[in-house]
Amino acid sequence: MFSGNEALRFEEYVRLRQDALLRTARRLVPDPVDAQDLLQTAFTQTFVRWDRIADKNLADAYVRRVMINTRTEWWRARKFDEVLTAHDPDASVADSTDRYADRALLLDVLGILTPRQRSIVVLRHWAELSTEETAQLLGLAPGTVKSTLHRALIQLREELEERERDFHAAGGTRPPQGGIARPHQKPLSTAA
């Protein structure tokens, strides 16, 4: 295996990163218990190969890849059983058009940002990393992350407001789907 010092480094890594990685696991599988199992499986596989990960700063990426591969293996191994019922099951499907429209709008609007701004917004708000984690990952000062995030969120808000105005000017009867702040909603936070 590897030295006791490396085992301690792995234990500390797990202690520090397990909450953030559990959020990733919960995005991969719908059941919270399965998400915990997925993360534990990924940690076990990572522990076995810990000494081969030369840059420990990339350990999160390795664990995420293991989780994705494990989830895929679980999906392939599942069994489908037919269950006979007296009546046909309800075949209605929830309409998720709004969710996809929101996502499409968000991805489109993110395109107006610089690559650095986009990276910071994604790491802080999607990956839910702290300012310090984001700064370390991108090799920036925490103050740079905060100011860049602040400016990026202002740009995003202005772009969304402009698109809403354009939509209404073009004769739209309702605002486009997406994260446009309305009077009863809390706007995007610029707090770091």
pLDDT digits over 54-79, tens only?
Answer: 888 889 999 999 999 999 998 888 77
Residue 67 token pair:
């989780």
> CA 171, 173, 178 angle in degrees (round to 5)?
105
The 10s digit of each residue's pLDDT in 141-159 is: 999 999 999 999 999 999 8
Contact 39, 25 (CB under 8 A): yes
Is residue 184 scored above 50 in pLDDT?
Answer: no
What is the reported pLDDT for 43? 95
Which segments of 4-31 does DSSP mark as H helices, in order?
Answer: 4-28
Separation CA 10–CA 56 (nearest Å): 9
The band of 82, judged by pLDDT with boundaries at 50, 70 and 90, is low
Portions of the chain given CATH number 1.10.10.10: 97-169
Portions of the chain given CATH number 1.10.1740: 4-77
Contact 128, 119 (CB under 8 A): no
What is the reported pLDDT for 101? 73
Is residue 113 scored above 50 in pLDDT?
Answer: yes
Neighbouring residues of 40: CB distance < 8 A, sequence distance ≥ 6: none
Decide if domain 4-77 falls under CATH 3.30.70: no
Contact 38, 28 (CB under 8 A): yes
Is the model's pTM score more than 0.75? no
Q: Please tell me the least confidently modeled range out of 74-83, 87-96, 160-169.
A: 87-96
Is residue 91 scored above 80 in pLDDT?
Answer: no
CA distances from 80 to 15, 71, 73, 92, 187 (A): 37, 17, 15, 20, 45
3-state secondary structure 27-46: HHCCCHHHHHHHHHHHHHHH
Output the CATH code of domain 97-169: 1.10.10.10
For the chain, how many helices (H) and strands (E)? Answer: 7, 0
